[in-house]
Amino acid sequence: MIKRTRTSARSQLPDREAALERYSMRANVYDGELALFEPLRQEAISRLQLRKGESVLDVGCGTGLSFEPLKALVGEQGTIVGIEQCPQMLAKARERIQAHGWEGITLLSEAADEAHLRGQADAAIFHFTHDILRQPEAIANVMRHLKPGARVVATGLQWAAPWVWPVNLFVWGAAMYSVTTMDGLDKPWSVLATFLHGTEVRATWMGSIFIATGTWSGRGPDA
Protein backbone atom coordinates (compact mmCIF):
# COMPACT_ATOMS: atom_id res chain seq x y z
CA MET A 1 0.00 0.00 0.00
CA ILE A 2 1.29 3.44 -0.92
CA LYS A 3 1.20 6.09 1.76
CA ARG A 4 1.03 9.74 0.79
CA THR A 5 3.96 11.86 1.79
CA ARG A 6 4.27 15.54 2.62
CA THR A 7 6.76 18.02 1.23
CA SER A 8 7.96 20.54 3.77
CA ALA A 9 9.03 23.29 1.39
CA ARG A 10 5.56 24.15 0.13
CA SER A 11 6.84 27.26 -1.63
CA GLN A 12 8.97 25.04 -3.87
CA LEU A 13 6.10 22.85 -5.02
CA PRO A 14 4.92 23.12 -8.63
CA ASP A 15 2.31 25.80 -9.28
CA ARG A 16 -0.66 24.17 -11.04
CA GLU A 17 -2.38 27.40 -12.05
CA ALA A 18 0.84 28.81 -13.50
CA ALA A 19 1.42 25.59 -15.43
CA LEU A 20 -2.10 25.64 -16.86
CA GLU A 21 -1.70 29.22 -18.01
CA ARG A 22 1.71 28.57 -19.52
CA TYR A 23 0.78 25.46 -21.46
CA SER A 24 -2.57 26.78 -22.63
CA MET A 25 -0.64 29.49 -24.48
CA ARG A 26 1.90 27.00 -25.88
CA ALA A 27 -0.53 24.37 -27.16
CA ASN A 28 -0.48 25.55 -30.78
CA VAL A 29 3.33 25.66 -31.02
CA TYR A 30 4.26 22.88 -28.61
CA ASP A 31 5.01 20.22 -31.22
CA GLY A 32 7.50 22.47 -32.96
CA GLU A 33 9.15 23.42 -29.68
CA LEU A 34 9.74 19.77 -28.80
CA ALA A 35 11.02 18.71 -32.23
CA LEU A 36 14.66 18.97 -31.14
CA PHE A 37 14.05 16.52 -28.30
CA GLU A 38 12.26 13.83 -30.33
CA PRO A 39 15.24 11.43 -30.40
CA LEU A 40 15.08 11.43 -26.59
CA ARG A 41 11.40 10.49 -26.72
CA GLN A 42 12.20 7.58 -29.02
CA GLU A 43 14.93 6.33 -26.71
CA ALA A 44 12.71 6.65 -23.65
CA ILE A 45 9.89 4.72 -25.30
CA SER A 46 12.25 1.98 -26.47
CA ARG A 47 13.38 1.53 -22.85
CA LEU A 48 9.81 0.67 -21.85
CA GLN A 49 10.25 -2.64 -23.73
CA LEU A 50 6.57 -2.70 -24.62
CA ARG A 51 5.01 -5.73 -26.23
CA LYS A 52 1.89 -6.20 -28.29
CA GLY A 53 -1.29 -6.10 -26.26
CA GLU A 54 0.23 -4.30 -23.27
CA SER A 55 -1.03 -1.13 -21.60
CA VAL A 56 0.94 2.04 -20.87
CA LEU A 57 0.30 5.26 -18.97
CA ASP A 58 1.56 8.42 -20.70
CA VAL A 59 1.78 10.81 -17.76
CA GLY A 60 1.66 14.46 -18.78
CA CYS A 61 0.98 13.41 -22.37
CA GLY A 62 0.69 16.95 -23.72
CA THR A 63 -0.40 16.98 -27.36
CA GLY A 64 0.08 13.23 -27.71
CA LEU A 65 3.48 13.22 -29.39
CA SER A 66 4.27 9.84 -27.79
CA PHE A 67 1.10 8.15 -29.01
CA GLU A 68 2.35 7.06 -32.44
CA PRO A 69 5.53 5.30 -31.25
CA LEU A 70 3.68 3.83 -28.27
CA LYS A 71 0.87 2.57 -30.49
CA ALA A 72 3.37 0.99 -32.86
CA LEU A 73 4.66 -1.13 -29.96
CA VAL A 74 1.44 -2.12 -28.16
CA GLY A 75 -0.52 -2.70 -31.36
CA GLU A 76 -4.25 -2.75 -31.93
CA GLN A 77 -4.91 -4.86 -28.84
CA GLY A 78 -2.82 -2.66 -26.57
CA THR A 79 -4.03 0.41 -24.70
CA ILE A 80 -2.65 3.86 -23.93
CA VAL A 81 -3.92 6.20 -21.24
CA GLY A 82 -2.90 9.81 -21.67
CA ILE A 83 -3.04 12.03 -18.59
CA GLU A 84 -2.95 15.79 -19.14
CA GLN A 85 -4.29 18.62 -16.99
CA CYS A 86 -4.20 21.34 -19.69
CA PRO A 87 -7.42 21.29 -21.78
CA GLN A 88 -5.80 23.05 -24.73
CA MET A 89 -2.98 20.51 -24.89
CA LEU A 90 -5.41 17.63 -24.55
CA ALA A 91 -7.54 19.01 -27.37
CA LYS A 92 -4.50 18.73 -29.64
CA ALA A 93 -3.97 15.15 -28.45
CA ARG A 94 -7.60 14.35 -29.28
CA GLU A 95 -7.18 15.84 -32.76
CA ARG A 96 -4.10 13.66 -33.26
CA ILE A 97 -6.04 10.53 -32.33
CA GLN A 98 -8.89 11.40 -34.67
CA ALA A 99 -6.53 12.22 -37.55
CA HIS A 100 -4.88 8.78 -37.28
CA GLY A 101 -8.05 6.87 -36.51
CA TRP A 102 -6.44 5.25 -33.48
CA GLU A 103 -8.44 3.15 -31.07
CA GLY A 104 -7.48 2.00 -27.60
CA ILE A 105 -6.34 5.43 -26.39
CA THR A 106 -8.08 6.98 -23.39
CA LEU A 107 -7.53 10.63 -22.45
CA LEU A 108 -7.93 11.93 -18.91
CA SER A 109 -8.26 15.69 -18.49
CA GLU A 110 -6.92 15.69 -14.95
CA ALA A 111 -3.80 16.45 -12.96
CA ALA A 112 -1.63 13.38 -12.36
CA ASP A 113 -2.19 13.41 -8.59
CA GLU A 114 -5.99 13.40 -9.04
CA ALA A 115 -6.38 11.33 -12.20
CA HIS A 116 -9.12 8.71 -11.93
CA LEU A 117 -7.24 5.73 -13.30
CA ARG A 118 -8.61 2.22 -13.57
CA GLY A 119 -6.90 -1.12 -13.60
CA GLN A 120 -3.16 -1.69 -13.65
CA ALA A 121 -0.91 -0.94 -16.60
CA ASP A 122 2.26 -2.66 -17.76
CA ALA A 123 4.35 0.49 -18.05
CA ALA A 124 4.44 4.26 -17.54
CA ILE A 125 6.36 7.10 -19.16
CA PHE A 126 7.08 10.58 -17.80
CA HIS A 127 8.56 12.58 -20.70
CA PHE A 128 9.68 16.11 -19.78
CA THR A 129 7.25 16.32 -16.86
CA HIS A 130 9.44 17.89 -14.17
CA ASP A 131 6.55 19.39 -12.20
CA ILE A 132 4.85 15.99 -11.97
CA LEU A 133 8.06 14.23 -10.96
CA ARG A 134 8.43 16.62 -8.00
CA GLN A 135 5.01 15.66 -6.57
CA PRO A 136 5.03 12.49 -4.44
CA GLU A 137 1.22 12.41 -4.54
CA ALA A 138 1.24 12.31 -8.34
CA ILE A 139 3.84 9.54 -8.46
CA ALA A 140 1.94 7.55 -5.86
CA ASN A 141 -1.32 7.82 -7.80
CA VAL A 142 0.32 6.56 -10.97
CA MET A 143 2.09 3.70 -9.19
CA ARG A 144 -1.16 2.50 -7.67
CA HIS A 145 -2.28 1.73 -11.19
CA LEU A 146 0.76 -0.19 -12.35
CA LYS A 147 1.34 -3.92 -12.09
CA PRO A 148 4.20 -4.91 -9.77
CA GLY A 149 7.27 -5.10 -11.96
CA ALA A 150 5.89 -2.59 -14.47
CA ARG A 151 8.55 -0.73 -16.45
CA VAL A 152 8.86 3.00 -15.77
CA VAL A 153 10.91 5.55 -17.71
CA ALA A 154 11.33 9.27 -17.08
CA THR A 155 13.22 11.86 -19.09
CA GLY A 156 13.79 15.58 -18.69
CA LEU A 157 16.07 18.47 -17.88
CA GLN A 158 18.66 18.38 -15.12
CA TRP A 159 21.57 20.49 -13.95
CA ALA A 160 24.85 19.45 -15.52
CA ALA A 161 28.15 19.60 -13.63
CA PRO A 162 28.62 23.06 -12.05
CA TRP A 163 31.67 23.89 -14.15
CA VAL A 164 29.78 23.33 -17.44
CA TRP A 165 28.11 26.71 -17.14
CA PRO A 166 27.08 27.12 -20.81
CA VAL A 167 25.12 23.87 -20.55
CA ASN A 168 23.49 24.96 -17.30
CA LEU A 169 22.59 28.26 -18.91
CA PHE A 170 20.64 26.24 -21.48
CA VAL A 171 19.00 24.21 -18.70
CA TRP A 172 18.08 27.36 -16.81
CA GLY A 173 16.50 28.98 -19.87
CA ALA A 174 14.57 25.86 -20.84
CA ALA A 175 13.40 25.30 -17.27
CA MET A 176 12.25 28.90 -16.83
CA TYR A 177 10.09 28.41 -19.90
CA SER A 178 8.69 24.97 -19.14
CA VAL A 179 8.54 24.28 -15.38
CA THR A 180 7.13 26.13 -12.40
CA THR A 181 9.70 25.00 -9.83
CA MET A 182 13.46 24.65 -9.99
CA ASP A 183 13.35 22.35 -6.99
CA GLY A 184 15.05 19.03 -7.62
CA LEU A 185 16.75 19.88 -10.91
CA ASP A 186 19.93 18.34 -9.54
CA LYS A 187 18.17 14.93 -9.39
CA PRO A 188 14.70 15.29 -10.93
CA TRP A 189 14.07 11.54 -10.69
CA SER A 190 14.75 11.31 -6.93
CA VAL A 191 11.10 11.06 -5.85
CA LEU A 192 10.28 8.55 -8.56
CA ALA A 193 13.30 6.42 -7.63
CA THR A 194 11.90 5.81 -4.14
CA PHE A 195 9.07 3.87 -5.78
CA LEU A 196 11.23 1.88 -8.17
CA HIS A 197 13.54 -1.11 -8.11
CA GLY A 198 16.84 -1.15 -9.97
CA THR A 199 16.75 2.47 -11.03
CA GLU A 200 19.36 3.36 -13.63
CA VAL A 201 20.02 6.94 -14.72
CA ARG A 202 21.86 7.95 -17.85
CA ALA A 203 22.93 11.52 -18.54
CA THR A 204 23.07 12.79 -22.11
CA TRP A 205 23.31 16.09 -23.97
CA MET A 206 26.46 17.03 -22.03
CA GLY A 207 24.70 16.19 -18.78
CA SER A 208 21.67 18.44 -19.32
CA ILE A 209 19.18 15.61 -19.90
CA PHE A 210 18.51 12.50 -17.84
CA ILE A 211 16.86 9.20 -18.74
CA ALA A 212 15.84 7.22 -15.66
CA THR A 213 14.68 3.62 -15.96
CA GLY A 214 13.37 1.21 -13.35
CA THR A 215 10.55 -1.13 -12.40
CA TRP A 216 7.68 -0.49 -10.02
CA SER A 217 8.61 -2.22 -6.80
CA GLY A 218 5.01 -2.79 -5.76
CA ARG A 219 5.57 -0.86 -2.53
CA GLY A 220 5.59 2.83 -1.72
CA PRO A 221 8.53 4.59 -0.07
CA ASP A 222 6.85 4.50 3.35
CA ALA A 223 5.55 0.95 3.13
Domain borders along the chain are 10-216
Look at residues 141, 198, 118, 112 and name the one whose alpha carbon lies nearest to residue 2: 141
pLDDT one digit per residue (tens) for the chain, 223 residues: 444 333 333 347 788 888 888 888 889 998 988 888 899 999 999 999 999 999 999 999 999 999 999 999 999 999 999 999 999 999 999 999 999 999 999 999 999 999 999 999 999 999 999 999 999 999 999 999 999 999 999 999 999 999 999 999 999 999 998 899 999 999 999 999 999 999 999 999 999 999 999 999 887 775 5
**Which CATH superfamily hosts domain 10-216?**
Vaccinia Virus protein VP39 (3.40.50.150)
127 within 8 A of 155, measured Cβ to Cβ: yes
* Cα distance between residue 46 and residue 185, in whole Å: 24
- Is residue 189 within 8 Å of residue 211, measured between CB atoms? no
